[in-house]
């Protein structure tokens, strides 16, 4: 199953950094960015998280919060957030149920080996819980800026 633009965002509730819980209902009335990344503290995921952290003030100006989700356990995610000073919530989707609902838990291949993992993806969700924009197979460089640019051009509330 895959989520498309214009559809209702699938429900979720996940444990996140700093003792928080993030959920779709918790964002009711507020637009946000939900991004899925494969693994905390790896080069691409670090670059992506730091870019979103850097873009946070500008994203907040347009009324957007950011939430990152990975299949890691909460402890490595907490270490990752502390190491890079990431203040937005990073959530743990250990059983990848949320990734599956968003269609980002996919078969991947590396060195001829097939395995299941997260397809780096970002969802821009409006205040009513509708998916406005989807980025799949994200290339990390410039992605946070692309999301900000798209958000400025869309009606979020």
**Catalytic residue numbers?**
45
Rounded to whole angstroms, the Cα distance separating 27 from 143 reads 22
Q: Which tokens hold the place of 135?
A: 């980025």
Contact 131, 5 (CB under 8 A): yes
Tracing tokens 């957007």 back to the chain, one arrives at: 64
CA atoms within 13 A on the CB side of 56: 14
3-class DSSP assignment, residue 4 = coil
């Amino acid at each position: 199953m895959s989520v498309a633009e214009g559809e209702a965002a699938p429900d979720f509730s996940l444990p996140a950094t700093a003792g928080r819980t993030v959920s779709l209902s918790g964002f009711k009335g507020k637009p946000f960015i939900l991004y899925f990344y494969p693994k905390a503290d790896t080069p691409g995921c670090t670059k992506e998280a730091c870019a979103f952290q850097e873009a946070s003030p500008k994203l907040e100006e347009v009324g957007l919060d950011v939430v990152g989700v990975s299949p890691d356990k909460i402890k490595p995610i907490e270490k990752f957030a502390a190491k890079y000073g990431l203040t937005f919530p990073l959530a743990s989707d250990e059983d990848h149920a949320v990734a599956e609902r968003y269609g980002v838990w996919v078969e991947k291949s590396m060195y001829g080996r097939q395995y299941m993992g997260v397809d780096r993806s970002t969802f821009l969700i409006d205040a009513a819980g509708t998916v406005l924009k989807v980025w799949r197979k994200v290339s990390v460089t410039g992605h946070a800026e692309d999301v900000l640019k798209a958000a400025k051009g869309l009606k979020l509330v």
